[in-house]
Amino acid sequence: MRSAVACKRRCLMNAAFVVCLIASLPKCSTAQVEVLGMPCYGINARALGMGGASVAVVGDLGSLLANPAATVRLPEPVASLSGRLNTTNERYFLAGYLRGSQEGKLGGGLTLMWARDESPSALGGRTTHFGLLYTITQPIGMWRGYEIDFGTTIKMHQQRIAGQGSRTNWTFDIGFLTRLAERTWIGISSINTTRPSFTMGTVRKRDERLINAGVAHWFDEDTLLAVDVWDLEDNTTDWAGGRGSGIAIRVGLERRLTPSLTGRIGMLDRRLTIGFGFRGGFMRGMHIDYAFSDRPSPEDDIHLLSMSVSF
């Protein structure tokens, strides 16, 4: 009897979640989604489907870009490739290999980002980005009986603008992750910690440093809720001189609908994002994820596809 009730409850929850996903499709509109290029070096489909909320979500490349420490507890090494599907002017690819920290050994890995925008900019013509990210992760201590995880990512970023030349700079991200309870994770990160400068021709500016915090809670083994607050440093007071565009709240919900299918819905810059994930297929450990986010004009809409394999 209990089994039948639990099964019925699960079916109702899955149906309600699917209805929410479908209902959100026509309501998406003009979100300013900073997910490509600098300063966050992009995003993958799982994180985008959850509204970019990934500072406290144990995961792969999407979590790494928000908080290096979020990859310490990867159960298996993972290789991943992400790419933007729909655009005539922009190209974006993200590829990497990561492994967690196990048996006292350092974790981490290598990630590559490449993006190109064919649209003319204020500085010149076509803009090309190349990023090389090296990550190191390790548990570093205990808090309330739970380990505190630490991660850092050393980043090289090269930007080339047609007709203007190129520049290369270096910076790093740092992050921490731990638990508040058995099913609740909290994280904090600093992205672009050294705020590298941008100099090309007569133009000079500094890339933003983002201080972010997040919490992720598993209601059960199938349902995850994540909430992030981004850009705390520049927008909690007026001391920083008004940099940034305002505190960004990112919220995401992930629900496993079947053993092979996962649905995701999120809110990024007060607009909805949606996504799906499929596990299995012709290769053991394969995950295929898709996410959609609307942008100011139809040609800027983001359709992102990620494929990963766990070993």
- Please tell me whether the overall predicted TM-score, pTM, comes out greater than 0.75 for this model: yes
What is the H or E stretch that residue 5 is in?
helix 2-24
Instruction: From residue 234, give the alpha-carbon distance in Å to each of 123, 188, 209, 226, 311.
Output: 26, 15, 8, 22, 40
DSSP summary character for residue 208: P
pLDDT digits (tens, 9 = 90+) for 112-130: 999 888 766 555 678 888 8
pLDDT of residue 67: 94
What is the H or E stretch that residue 63 is in?
helix 61-64
Asked whether residue 274 carries a pLDDT value surpassing 80, the answer given is: yes
Question: What are the φ/ψ torsions at residue 243 (nearest 5 degrees)?
Answer: -70, 160
Count of beta carbons in the 10 Å neighbourhood of residue 111: 24
Range of the domain at 255: 2-310
CATH code of the domain in which 128 resides? 2.40.160.60
Count of beta carbons in the 10 Å neighbourhood of residue 35: 23
Weakest-pLDDT range from 30-34, 162-166, 232-236: 30-34
Upper half-sphere CA count for residue 85 (Cβ side, 13 Å): 14
Domain total in the chain? 1
Asked whether residue 150 carries a pLDDT value surpassing 60, the answer given is: yes
pLDDT of residue 3: 61
pLDDT digits (tens, 9 = 90+) for 217-253: 999 999 999 999 987 665 444 433 444 446 778 899 9
pLDDT digits (tens, 9 = 90+) for 37-78: 334 557 889 999 999 899 999 988 889 999 999 999 998 999
Upper half-sphere CA count for residue 23 (Cβ side, 13 Å): 6
Pick 22 or 128 by higher pLDDT.
128
